[in-house]
Structure 1
């Protein structure tokens, strides 16, 4: 029995066996590294990766935190609907859930399993409640060309008109959906593997894998006893907190592979944060990665978040609600998020912006006060403008000139 048998490589020595193709996977298998060694990724295991947990928590909470209002078209403008559908959307969709809790649950399902679904309970034409559904227990199918949602424990399937459905990314059949965790499984598995390796390394006292060199005993049992003796010596040295332990004469221990510092594990784990951020199209600064962050580009990433991520998901949710709550032909009612909260900025910048809006007749004082959750005031519903801002050559300008005693 040769050294190949000790290492268990005889059956997969593809370099020496011309009948076995030499691929990257087979080559790595010579060294005991196989693709199957990566941890299996599930939603639960993926959420143990801090970057994934941060992305899901941040996105779902941010989307649920957006004010969601229902409006009715009236004359040349719109007015907010009071009670009824507004209460369901912005306060409590049913007796068991708050609006924030319902929407956060839905978005959690979107950003993990890839789909968020809710059933609309109706009484005649009135909407009574909105109930979140477990996507895992929901099957989407077509019956007679129409889409239906079969929920576990229910005898009849719900028609699509009664189900709010927000998929992460639809599959080609328009029924299934892709999961961000499944799409980024390789990056997440690598993050899990590095976390496991780092945990094992430091749990083992920071000792890297070692190889024993020198006169080796003959026979498999003698080799096992020698390895056991060396292992016990290392454990005894760690337990006694002494860095020195005895070695048999003529033998030596040599490090195999790299320790985490030499293997650039810190850099590799940081890169996995960037990879996971790409899966969610999320700027890395929102995953607490400020490696490349500066004051200016962090502000630009904040704009990217609102313009290219939050606004898009908000639009998808709004159109789904408008279609399912009011029907495809409804034109006098609609649902809309208020994104102003994400663009509030600091207090001084906010006050300066509101003041400019009032002084230039863009906002009434009451509209500006409403943005700060303050009550209206008398004469606050009128538009105002600075008195010095008048059309050039108007009578007002001429009268002002005359009052100053100037002549042409």
Structure 2
């Protein structure tokens, strides 16, 4: 597994001038309200977990094809190459992960931290495996000649350097051209505040919650205040019945007159609720995910879904596609990786009917897709007849098949 990517020997080799680490534990200092975060601790926050899953699972849900482009009669035509080794590799990247799991892990690491890294196993000039490296155990070494290596630290304490050419690496938004801005470092304060608010809520719940009212108990004998022993017994009984693990029910204080006055929700309680909502929205902003996907507000409409695919998922898709092509298909520039986002954009049956009617020329509009291309989008087998293979000239209304159907 690790028999590649060694440094070349020699005294004239470039030296390391900077290191960019994926171990987050010491970055940015720490405080009680904004402790240092790692990928694991950041994902313990439900909003962060939901945002990362929304992006990673969305990208991983897209089918991935190898597309070959050729010039035919002056036109650029695209063909899906299912027989290419890179297609087989991306659909089974290693012995222990499916395509979905591999893409999900890579996107998750890239979204959270400084980038996503996988090592390549090359046999006979072909990449046979892609082995993802978890965040927190690698660092990028920038060299004096402007290139970079990756140092991976293993569980036994040893480390090894891998050349960039032996790795698949991609990053998010970058200010230095080498590594991306860490989302969890940027979100450290927002996540810290959200965690503090959750801790406050948990503490309140574990103590039986804020008192729902004030119980006044009078002594029927002489009207004086209760003695300490009696007060302690009533408090113990109240806690036993109405704490977080109490059985509830009706409390009867025998021998004493009682008066219960309920306490209404105050401004502090309302502010806590609003603050928790705001922190979820703040985390949504950092990951560029609509709050509806974090179950914070509103419902996911078709417009929000299209904006989510276009603005949230597609930038990560483009980064991953280009990194895969640059790392795996350098010798074949006419090939590219294509994540098919159409699966995520499908509307209801009525919307699909209107769409396919318009692109095949129904209603007099120019036909831009053939029937077989529409069937492919629906996951159906093609029709062998010639009329189904190319867009109908003049639209459906002027086609021979429509005239034949009209004459029946």
Normalising by structure 2, report the TM-score. Answer: 0.70
Measured in 1, the distance between the counterparts of 2:166 and 2:174 equals 19
User: Which has the higher relative contact order, 1 or 2, with Cα contacts under 8 A spaced 6 or more apart?
Assistant: 2
- The aligned counterpart of 2:224 is none
Q: Which residue of 2 aligns with 1:381?
A: 389
What's the RMSD between the two structures over aligned residues? 3.3
Aligned residue for 2:319? 316
Superposition map of 1:245-324 within 5 A: 262-291=269-298, 298-324=301-327
Residue 29 of structure 1 corresponds to: none
Asked whether the 8 Å contact 1:120–1:163 carries over to 2, the reply is yes
Structure 2 counterpart SS, 1:82: coil
Q: Quote the residue 2:23 is aligned against.
A: none
Q: In 2, distance between residues paired with 1:60 and 1:85?
A: 21
| Alignment-derived partner of residue 150 in structure 1 | 151
Q: Tell me, yes or no, if structure 1 residue 59 matches structure 2 residue 55.
A: yes
Per the TM alignment, residue 373 of structure 1 is displaced from its structure 2 partner at its CA by: 0.8
How far 1:106 moved relative to its partner?
0.8
> How far is the alpha carbon of 1:387 from its aligned partner?
6.1
- 1:109-141 Cα deviation digits (max 9, x unpaired): 122334211122212422222111123211211
Cα pair distance change 1:108/1:202, threshold 3 Å: same
Paired residues of 1:260 and 1:266 also in contact (CA < 8 A):
no
Gaps of 5+ in 1: 1-34, 209-226, 246-254, 391-408
Structure 2 unaligned residues grouped into runs of 5+: 1-29, 212-227, 243-249, 254-262, 400-408
- Residues 325-364 of structure 1 aligned to structure 2 (within 5 Å): 325-327=328-330, 330-359=332-361, 360-364=366-370
Distance 2:66 2:352 in 1: 25
User: Deviation of residue 45 (structure 1)?
Assistant: 3.3
Question: Which has more helix, going by share of residues?
Answer: 1
1:54 counterpart SS class: helix
**Structure showing greater Rg:** 1
| Contact 1:168–1:180 (CA under 8 A) maintained in structure 2 | no
Runs of 4+ in 1 over 6 A off after TM superposition: 229-233, 242-245
Distance change (3 Å), C-alpha of 1:387 and 1:319: closer
Deviations 1:15-65 (A, max 9, x none): xxxxxxxxxxxxxxxxxxxx9442635333332322111111111100111
- The offset of 1:261, in angstroms, is 5.8
Change over 3 Å in CA distance of 1:387–1:81 after alignment to 2: closer
Deviation at 1:314, TM superposition (A): 0.9
Residue 141 of structure 1 contacts residue 175 of structure 1 at CA under 8 Å; is this kept in 2?
Answer: no
State the alpha-carbon separation in 1 of the partners of residues 120 and 231 from structure 2. 67
Structure 1 residues 259 and 235: alpha-carbon distance in aligned structure 2, compared to 1, 3 A threshold? farther
Number of residue pairs matched by the alignment = 323
1:38 counterpart residue number: 33
Q: How does 1:167-186 map to 2 (within 5 A)?
A: 167-170=171-174, 172=176, 174-186=177-189
